[in-house]
A and B are shown apart, each in its own frame.
Chain A
Amino acid sequence: DEEPEVHDEL
């Protein structure tokens, strides 16, 4: 479940 969420933040 390596979804990129949080990494889409700055």
Chain B
Amino acid sequence: MNLFRLLGDMTHLLSIVVLLLKIRTVKSCAGISLKTQELYVIVFLTRYLDLFTKYYSVYNTAMKLVFLGTSIGIVWYMRYHKVVKQTYSKDEDTFKHYFLILLSIILALLIHRAFDVIEVLWTFSLYLEAVAILPQLVLLQKSRNIDTLTGDYVFLLGAYRALYILNWVYRFLMENHKFRWIPWISGLVQTALYADFFYYYIKSWKNREKLKLPA
């Protein structure tokens, strides 16, 4: 495993830690899109089906279980925890996320590497992950007040896929990997969706101002 991949995974893990910190210690999920979080549960459930069919490493299995467990836990907190659920910005979380699921299903049925259950679901999970942040970005744009933890969470989540792109470049050049259009293009789209957010996040950080996205 190369450094970019490890840093990518750690950034992803850290983003979840930051979100759990907000939920568990601040007891708030204000500004967090439940729709995006539900999409992540679907992404992990469909991608990590291979937990039952193929073993890669202890690291791989452990990380998959952590991503599955934490994503389900976060949705549980946002839906059912008696304090946390009251902080959910429901009225602003308006993105039609079913549309993203439908779009990803159609795309995965049309464009995949092999037509079997695991492969199509894996492809679906990549397409859905690429766009899963959209409800969250829309919610941020509607939020007047983006707290630090929420801003950091979204930043880390975006940085993770950007680091994965470097990992793919590295594997292609150094490990003789072939072209892998499906994850690469999905990853590029996913990272590109954050471009605007990255710009305002870094700007607010440089100017030591509170993060605010233009409406």
A residues whose Cβ falls under 8 Å from a Cβ of B? 1-2, 4-10
Contact = CB atoms under 8 A, between A and B. Distances in A.
A8 B56 contact: yes
Contacts of A2: 114
A10 to B, nearest CB: 5
Given A9-B164, A10-B12, A10-B60, A4 B54 contact: yes
Contacts of B122: 7
B185 interface: no
B152 interface: no
Interface of B: 5, 9, 12, 50, 54, 56-57, 60, 63-64, 67, 114, 122, 164, 167, 171, 177-178, 180, 183
Given A5-B177, A5-B180, A10-B67, 18 more contacts: A1-B178, A2-B114, A4-B54, A4-B56, A5-B178, A6-B183, A7-B50, A7-B56, A8-B56, A8-B57, A9-B5, A9-B164, A9-B167, A9-B183, A10-B9, A10-B12, A10-B60, A10-B63
Which residue among A1, A5, A6, A9 has the maximum number of chain B CB atoms within 10 Å of its CB? A9
B112 to A, nearest CB: 13
B16 to A, nearest CB: 12
Nearest to B13: A10
> 8 nearest interchain CB pairs?
A8-B56, A6-B180, A10-B63, A6-B183, A5-B177, A10-B9, A8-B60, A10-B64
A1 to B, nearest CB: 8
10 contacts: A1-B178, A2-B114, A4-B54, A6-B177, A7-B122, A9-B5, A9-B183, A10-B9, A10-B60, A10-B67
B202 to A, nearest CB: 26
